[in-house]
A = this chain, B = another copy of it.
Amino acid sequence: MRVAVVGATGAVGREMIRILQERDFPADVVVPLASERSAGRAIAFRGRELEVRPLSLEALDGVDIALSSCGGAVARTFVPQAAERGTVCVDNSSAFRMEPWAGLVIPEINPEEVRPDRRVYCVPNCTIITTLMAVAPLHRAAGLRALSVASYQAVSGAGHKGVRELAEQIGKLAGSEEELGHPDPEALPRGEVFGKTIAYNVVAKIDAFDPETGFTFEEIKMAREAKRILALPDLEIAATCVRVPVVTGHSVAVEATFERELAPTEAREILAAAPGVRVMDDPANLVYPSPLEAAGGDDVLVGRIRRHPDRPATLLLFACGDNLRKGAALNAVQIAEAVLRLR
Contacts and interface: CB of A to CB of B under 8 A. Distances in A.
Interface string A260-279: 00001000000000000000
Identical copies of this chain, number: 2
A211 B156 contact: no
B245 A200 contact: yes
B209 A283 contact: yes
A180 to B, nearest CB: 4
Nearest to A243: B290
Contacts of A121: none
A185 B293 contact: yes
B316 A240 contact: yes
Contacts of A115: none
A287 to B, nearest CB: 10
A96 interface: no
Interface in A303-330: 303-311, 314, 316, 318, 324
A203 interface: yes
What 7 A-B pairs are tightest by C-beta distance, nearest first?
A: A150-B150, A214-B306, A209-B283, A240-B253, A150-B253, A236-B310, A180-B247
A7 B184 CA distance: 27
B253 A203 contact: no
15 contacts: A146-B310, A152-B202, A152-B242, A163-B177, A163-B180, A164-B177, A181-B248, A181-B295, A181-B324, A183-B292, A200-B246, A200-B292, A204-B290, A209-B283, A237-B309
A204 B320 CA distance: 11
A57 interface: no
A341 interface: no
Given A148-B148, A293-B185, A318-B240, A286 B251 contact: no
Interface string A96-132: 0000000000000000000000000000000000000
A167 B177 contact: yes
Interface of A: 11, 146, 148, 150, 152, 156, 160, 163-164, 167, 170, 174, 177, 180-183, 185, 188, 195-197, 200-205, 209, 211, 213-215, 223, 235-238, 240, 242, 244-249, 251, 253, 255, 264, 283-284, 286, 288-293, 295-296, 303-311, 314, 316, 318, 324
B188 A238 contact: no
Given A214-B264, A284-B209, A324-B181, A188 B309 contact: no
Contacts of A310: 146, 235-238
A236 B309 CA distance: 8
A205 B287 CA distance: 10
A304 to B, nearest CB: 6
A211 B283 contact: yes
Contact of A202 (B167, B213, B244): B244
A163 to B, nearest CB: 5
A255 to B, nearest CB: 5
A177 B240 contact: no
Nearest to A170: B170
Given A170-B170, A211-B283, A309-B223, A251 B204 contact: yes
